[in-house]
Amino acid sequence: MNSMIKEYLTRIFISFSVSAFMGVLINLIIDAVANATGNAGFISMSPQYVALFPTPVIAAYCNVLIYGIIGAVFSGATIIYEVERIGFVIQSLIYFLITAAASMGITVVLWQLHRYPEAFISTMAGYLATHIIMITIEYRKVKADIKAINEMAE
């Protein structure tokens, strides 16, 4: 298998795993705090989302899977930055559109966020913050690469 493809598949698998784990951890913390503060029986999934599944347990497993898929898409979409004929601004726009379609599509439709304005806004803010972090990291990488190339050319 091509080493570049193997590297991307490894990166996607790691991102899937980390995202799924962090989703479980964050939901566990939210559920524990909510239940500890008197909101007995609280689960961090909307009732409409849970109703899409035969049991809340299956809904929770699918929730973990969804977290992983979002992480995998974020990681996998970085391949756009390897296309040298496309400028950084266009690459960033394409990356944004791919990840927005995946993450917002999944979170809004499956988690019924359109029914919960506060959750929708916080999800959008989280997406925007994540995107800004990713673009900043990639920009710094590109800037360092250009500096290294310029130093070699001197």
> SS in 3 state form for 76-126?
HHHHHHHCCCCCHHHHHHHHHHHHHHHHHHHHHHHCCHHHCHHHHHHHHHH
Q: Tell me, what amino acid is at 151?
A: E
Q: Tell me the pLDDT band of 16, cut-offs 50, 70 and 90.
A: very high
**Cα dihedral sign for 68, 74, 79, 82?**
negative
Q: What is the pTM of this model?
A: 0.72
Query: 112 pLDDT band (50/70/90 cuts)?
Result: confident
